Structure formats: C-alpha cells, structure tokens
Structure 1
C-alpha cells in the first residue's frame, strides 16, 4: 500500500548539501523528510581519501564522512526515506512529489540537492582504476600526486583549469585532447600554452588505463591517434578525466528554470529558484566549485532561505485570516 508523507520541508538528495539542509532544517523545527535517491550519500560515497574537508587533521574516508552526516541529521530530527522521486508537481503548495515506491510526498517547501555526476570515458579499465590513480576532480585529489607525472583528459574549460591547477603539485602535466584545438576560453588557453609544466597531446584518445605495482596503481595510459589509429603509451601516475558533468535535473525540466548546461538557475547570492518555495543547493546548481564543503555551505543557505520563506508565508496567512 502506498502512503502519503507530509512535512514542512522536503529534501531531495543525501549528499553534503541535502544533509546540511536537513540538519539546519531540523534544528529550526521543520521536521524535514529527506528522500535519499539512487545514490545515498552522494558522490563522496565513491571517494576514498578526503583530505580537504575542514575539521579533520588526518585523511578521512568519504563513506565514513557521509555516514556521520547522516547520523547527525537523524539525531536532530530528520526522517530519511529510501525512495527515488519519479514525478513532481510544483504548480502549487504544498508541492507534491511521487516516489518510485508509489508513495506521495508533500512539502510546504522543497530543497533540491540531487547533485551532478562526472562524465566518464566509459572504459572498463577506467572503472577498475578509479581511486587507484584515476579521478574526476583535480581539486579533490591533486594533492596526492605531489611531484608525480599526471595527465588530464579533455579540451574544455574544466580540463584546462584542472591542468593549470595540477601544476601547483606536479612538475609534469600532460593535457590529452582528441581534437587539434581546444574548446576552452581563449584566456585559459593562453595561460595553458604559457605554462612550461604543461604539455599538450593533440588528436589522442585514451584506449586503456594501465595498472601495475603492489598495491595496484595507475602506471600508464594507452593512447590512440584519432587520425592514424597508431597506439602509444604515456607513463603517468595520475589520470584526471575532465570532460564535464551531468546535473541531475531531468526530473525538473519544464518545472524550473535551467541554464544552458541544465543546472538549476538560482537568484544570485541565494538558493531561490524560479518557483517560490523551491530551493536548490549543491552541485545541482553549482558548476564552478563542486566541492563537498561548498555543497554543505549552500545546503545551509537553502535551509535558512526555506525557513525565512515559510515564516513570511505563515505571517501573511495569519494577516489575511485576521482581515
């Protein structure tokens, strides 16, 4: 039998953004319900070593951090639900969302924290070497490759920015692009070509991530020339795939304003979306920083924005009733 769940604050997504919103919302007495979605804990559950989250002097594990956030959210009064939302109705408040289970969720306000997924090349060897030298975030993992030879795969702004960032740690960075020109902004290209630590390999695509050693780690990339088909090998200890991200916003297409890259549009300096009472936080609206700590920060903002919205709405209701 399907059930109906009602709450003042409904949250979608259980990464740092969603759980931070839940913690603040629960402490404000909004008794939030958080629907965890298809990847409970978000991207950090697939990350091993985390060294840049404030408050921990030693390296911590991503899954452990998310377990602690979840436990904290539940401790202060959040109800976590195992379900995936398949349909939304944002035409009126309370907002009505339907889960894959058949359950109906009603929220006076809605916080969207469904995140974004890094695009991958789709190679079996890539999957096997994730966390063993293959990463999709130089800002997150570049520190672990100090003094080592690394490569970045891609040709857009993200790839060039990651290559430039990695020169802070590595004296030998190779950018690999399958075409003969970059899609990145000209100013970024100029910085890239002037950096003596960066080498660009044109018309090359990764055929295989090669592992070796004990414990196993990335030792090389097998490359294919996109013009001649010739194979070559590049020895590296770190490989960063930087070909973009997919924000999880398909569910909201036609219901909320999205930008050209399908990220939810919010008012500058806030988490307010195009629909009053709906708020977006974390990687689903942030295509610039995409860090756990910034996601958590916008989760806090979303809860505070939602609390203010409800307070104003309830004040207006009382005023109208008194007239």
Structure 2
C-alpha cells in the first residue's frame, strides 16, 4: 500500500455521484464524521439498515488511502487496487445505499445532549447518533525529500509496503516499540534494515530491544538523524548525520519507513468525550465512547493495527452498535 504524492484531488467526484447531496437538509438519524474506510463502511451499514445517514467527509475525502498507489492487501482484488480507486468505490457504494455525503469539515461539536450537533463553517447538523471516524496521521520528519519520495520509497506502514522492498536495504526512523516492531518485520524482506535513532539508547521495551540486538539483519545508527533523501524517479539514498560528531554518511536504500508515532485527529472532540494522553478516543465498550449515542471507528482509537481492512471492520461494528442503540432508544420512548 505505497503512499503516493500528496495533494491528489481524485475524490472530487460530485459531478458523477449517483446522488447529489441535499445541502438544505440538516437533521439526520446518524452523522458520521470522516470519510476513510471506517466512515464509508459505517455509512453503507447505517444506510442499509434504513437510517437517514450523513457523512461529513472533511477536507480530504478518503483519508490516508487517497495518498497511496497500489493496495495489495485489501481482500477482493486479485491484482490489487489503487488506493484512491478503492475510496471512490466505497464512496459510491455508500451513496448507492442512500448515504448523504457532504464534502465539508466539522469545526465544532456539541455532545451534551441528543440530538447531537455537528457544525461546519457554513451549517449546523443534528443527529440522533454520531460515529467519529476522523482517523490518525503519521508524524513526519519534516524533510522536503520526505514529500518528494512519498510513495516512491518513503512509507509509514511496514505491514502495508514491506513486500515492495525485497532484497533491498531498508531504513527505519525511530526508537520506540513501533519502530523496532517495523524493523523486525522488514527483515523478512530487506537485506539489511538500518535503524536511525537520535539517542544512544532505544525507547522500546526491553523485549523489543533484545529482538533488535539479536537480529543480524538489523544495524542501529545511534545519535543519528536523517538529513536528506535523494533519488531520481524513486528514492535511492538516505543521508544521515551523527548528531555528536556531525559526520555524514550515505545509505543506498530502496525504502525508508518513518515510525515516530501517529497523531489522532481528535482536537475537535477535546472536552466532549474521553481521550487518552496521546489524544486517542477512549472506548467504554466495543465502539462506544463515554457519551451514550456517540461511537468511534478506525484509527481514531486503534493504535495497534492501522490497516484499511481493520478500519472498515470497525466501521461495520460501530454501525451495528448504532443500530442497537437507536432501536433501544426508540423502544424506551414507546
């Protein structure tokens, strides 16, 4: 699932959408905030269950998959599928089920009472239930070459992209559990996996450190940072600098994996629902948040898997939980 050039606008598909959104309508049974695999899947299930459903897609409809090229690990596509194409198909399927999709960004919410309110810069929407599916973004190093070679060697997901780098040297940036886990996984494919870490000791757990130290394919570059990424059509070289000696060296590598953490897109919900110290949504039970009627699905709470297929699964689970919640709420009123 290689990351591609950012900034693609391939999901601006309103002209060909089978159903144009009724922007005058503001009250729905279910409001889904976010339009990645979890959001679209939740839309499919909620609409198919007969609920009047709105997806507010945000400023980047399709989530992280919009910025990927070939997706090989999503079931049902023998020869793979381009990430943007997968998201367009999910969008159209959700619309075919009756979901209203509006390409607008939520800027505020009010979860104090039902119906819940979700505000954009131009409208206020009400929903009897809300599914938060805003995802998370990988932290980046901030180098120009990181953007230039995104999808051309630079990746943020070893599980997604590791097989693309068989028999090549690979670089992993980071020193925590995620970085060591990714480096260990990548030894299945790479000839040598170089871990670039800014300090003189790893932050990873002792067990993870021992795995790295005992793996002959892993080479750790202490007190070092990536300063540049070079190549022609694809990334070919990673320039690193020792932060103590200022000595620079070059690694001829086919892939560079950035594993310095993720940032969940939850600033909007601070003070409205429970978040953990890193900003991830805290689930009370299954997909339920601490607010009855507000649910979460996908990378916004999942810090472990971060795959399109697991995000879609969580979207399904959240929709089923919403159905149960709305059904029980209706029963109580009768």
Task: Please state which band the TM-score falls in when normalised by the shorter chain.
Answer: over 0.9
Return the match for 1:15 from 25, 36, 41.
36
Q: Which moved more, 1:273-282 or 1:161-170?
A: 161-170
CA–CA distance in 2 between the matches of 1:229 and 1:168?
A: 32
SS at match of 2:299: helix
1:270-317 deviations in whole A, cap 9, x for unaligned? 100010000000000100000000000000000000000000011011
CA–CA distance in 1 between the matches of 2:194 and 2:317?
A: 38
CA–CA distance in 1 between the matches of 2:263 and 2:295?
A: 19
SS at match of 1:65: helix
Matched, 1:224 2:241: yes
CA–CA distance in 2 between the matches of 1:105 and 1:143?
A: 44
Matched, 1:293 2:299: no
- The aligned counterpart of 2:291 is 275
CA–CA distance in 2 between the matches of 1:224 and 1:313?
A: 60
CA–CA distance in 2 between the matches of 1:250 and 1:4?
A: 26
SS at match of 2:26: strand
Matched, 1:61 2:82: yes
Q: CA deviation at 1:84?
A: 0.7
- The aligned counterpart of 2:135 is 115
Matched, 1:302 2:318: yes
CA–CA distance in 1 between the matches of 2:86 and 2:284?
A: 30
| Unaligned ranges ≥5, structure 1 | 319-323
| Unaligned ranges ≥5, structure 2 | 1-22
Q: Is the 8 A contact 1:4 1:106 kept in 2?
A: no
- The aligned counterpart of 2:124 is 104
Alignment of 1:105-254 (within 5 A): 105-212=125-232, 216-254=233-271
1:165-214 deviations in whole A, cap 9, x for unaligned? 111212311111011111111111111111111111111100111113xx
Q: CA deviation at 1:260?
A: 1.8
Q: Which moved more, 1:292-301 or 1:230-239?
A: 230-239
After TM superposition, the score normalised by the length of structure 2 is 0.92
- The aligned counterpart of 2:333 is 317
Aligned-residue Cα RMSD (Å) equals 1.0
Aligned length: 312
CA–CA distance in 1 between the matches of 2:237 and 2:291?
A: 49
- The aligned counterpart of 1:284 is 300
Q: Is the 8 A contact 2:158 2:182 kept in 1?
A: yes
- The aligned counterpart of 1:263 is 280
Q: CA deviation at 1:3?
A: 5.3
CA–CA distance in 1 between the matches of 2:86 and 2:46?
A: 20
SS at match of 2:321: helix
Q: Is the 8 A contact 2:74 2:80 kept in 1?
A: no
- The aligned counterpart of 1:44 is 65
- Runs of 4+ in structure 1 off by over 6 angstroms are none
After TM superposition, the score normalised by the length of structure 1 is 0.95
